Copies of this chain bind each other. A is one copy, B any other.
Amino acid sequence: MDRLSVEASPGLLPEFLAQRALIGPGRDAIIAGRTRWSFSDLYAASVETAEWLASLGVGPGDRVAALLPNGPGYAAIVHAMARLDATLAPLNTRLTAFELDALLEEVDARVLVYGGACDAIARALGTTTPVVETLRLADDGGDPALPQATNVPLVDLSAVHTIVHTSGTTGRSKGAMLTYGNHFWSAVGSVLNLGLRDDDRWLAVLPFFHVGGLSILMRSVIYGIPVVVHESFDPAAANRAIDEEQVTIVSVVSIMLQRMLDERGLRPYPETFRCALLGGGPAPRGLLEECRRRGVPVVQTYGLTETASQVVTLAPQDAVRELGSAGKPLFPAQVRIEADGGDAAVDQVGEIVVRGPMVTPGYFHRPEATAQALSDGWLHTGDLGYLDADGYLYVVDRRDDLIIRGGENVYPAEVESAILTHPAVAEAGVVGVADARWGQSPLAFVVLRPAMEAGAEEVISFCSERLARYKVPVAVRFVDALPRTAAGKLRRGALRDTTDG
């Protein structure tokens, strides 16, 4: 007799926001400046937004493109999708009109909704998609009938909620389809690692058009906790939110966390602050050590647009012991390292491959890219890393950023991490340049701290004391700023473009 099993459940759940508004209507959902919405306010705002979008012709199966800064209205649009059976395509507000026109053509949206400081660029678009300024919502989100126990609709976990374009640190941007299930499982995976407290409040300084910000909006509704929304990242404002708004968790990338620490000086954080969830690439060792020294509760994570955010996260209990590791797979996830066409050995660097119910079913209208990335449910991430003997993941770099020098692998993140420990250095970026003798060589771009000085030779000699000889940059260029994505991730491709190499 075969294993006893029954027909699989159809993968339906009560619609997230309606259910949350039924369960805890009065609890805080959104805190943004003086705006403070409960879950019933947010529900009301999402209903009003859905009705408005329907009046613009949006119906089941349509895409809605959004080009606006973080704010309560963004949350209303995100949760209006379930009421329309539509899919949201959040667009990066830093893109050019040319880039946005290309994305709009790709997603074939029924309407582009813009707001805030995006009106100038929205007006400059050449797209045939109707471009509409977003609805102005009442301060309390309006007042429709609240959901009752009997009329919370079901949502199909396999329906596509969002198409999120990869942050595009390399190559052409692709739109990862994220289902309701992807978002839900991501939130479940996170809660089974980070836990959940009555008084949790998650600070959103990452943009909602990236998965790092968007996923906070989903967790807020799934967990029943408020999200404290900042329109953009400001280190002083982020620190103030921790002090004054009792923020307990903040999602950041390295450069943001470093700026928060610099801004704060030596004043300790309050006990209520329990997690700085640090993603967006390998973290500089110096930053992690500074956090440990100062008692900042940093928790490293590894995530991708294609996994609806975190997929591997260090448990808070391991944060100090396993410094530098991105941790273990979240409970519903699996991770492997592929090298030479098979599983890598312990400590052997290879491509990070992940699987689980938070992994995207594919890229929108890009079947070849989908087939290339996904096989048997495993997502090939294009990131390089290794698993140690205890199963902890260490992310070393993007595969595309790898520098191969005379047959030796040089990981830019490692070189940057070394340069960043120099007291005069604020930011560092390393890329490969063509080298007649060695194939490629590392070149460093450095931003100095205000009123600090250091010459190229000093930086190179500093590296020589810390790195194997083949990893030491052959040259250093001093610049005023490094190219970064809206989420703060270093764009090494843009740096490479400046080297003609």
Enumerate chain A interface residues (CB-CB to B < 8 A): 1-11, 13-14, 19-20, 22-24, 27, 60-63, 85-87, 148-150, 152, 156-160, 177, 179, 181, 188, 191-192, 195-198, 222-224, 315-317, 328-329, 331-336, 343, 356-357, 361-362, 387, 391
Contact = CB atoms under 8 A, between A and B. Distances in A.
A331 B158 contact: no
B14 A11 contact: no
Given A19-B331, A159-B4, A195 B192 contact: no
Nearest to A199: B195
Given A188-B188, A331-B222, A9 B62 contact: no
A387 B148 CA distance: 10
Contacts of A157: 8-9
Contacts of A63: 4
A348 to B, nearest CB: 12
B192 A336 contact: no
Given A4-B87, A8-B8, 9 more contacts: A6-B177, A13-B357, A14-B334, A14-B356, A23-B315, A149-B336, A149-B387, A192-B222, A224-B331
Nearest to A389: B148
A7 B181 CA distance: 12
A329 B357 CA distance: 24
A335 B149 CA distance: 6
Contacts of A7: 158, 361
Contacts of A14: 329, 331-334, 356
Contacts of A181: 9
A351 to B, nearest CB: 14
Contact of A357 (B4, B9, B159): B9
Nearest to A391: B149
30 contacts: A1-B60, A1-B62, A2-B61, A3-B60, A3-B61, A4-B87, A5-B179, A6-B158, A6-B177, A8-B157, A9-B157, A14-B329, A14-B333, A14-B334, A14-B356, A19-B329, A19-B331, A23-B331, A24-B315, A149-B334, A149-B335, A149-B387, A149-B391, A150-B343, A191-B191, A191-B196, A195-B198, A196-B196, A198-B316, A198-B317
Identical subunits present: 2
A8 B11 contact: yes
Contacts of A152: 334
A71 to B, nearest CB: 26
A79 B97 CA distance: 57
A61 B1 contact: yes
Contact of A5 (B19, B24, B158, B196): B158
A245 to B, nearest CB: 19
Contacts of A27: 317
B191 A5 contact: no
Contact of A22 (B13, B160, B198, B391): B391
Nearest to A185: B9
A338 to B, nearest CB: 10
A16 to B, nearest CB: 8
Contact of A329 (B23, B60, B333): B23
Contact of A192 (B9, B61, B62, B191): B191
A361 B316 CA distance: 37
In the A-B complex, the 4 residue pairs with the closest CB atoms: A1-B61, A6-B361, A3-B85, A195-B196
- A87, A315, A362, A391 — which one has the most chain B CB atoms within 10 A of its CB? A391
A186 to B, nearest CB: 13
A390 to B, nearest CB: 8
A149 B329 contact: yes
A220 to B, nearest CB: 12
A431 B401 CA distance: 76
A421 to B, nearest CB: 31
Contacts of A196: 191-192, 195-196
Contacts of A387: 149
B315 A13 contact: no
B5 A148 contact: no
Contacts of A4: 61, 63, 87, 159-160, 177
Contacts of A86: 3
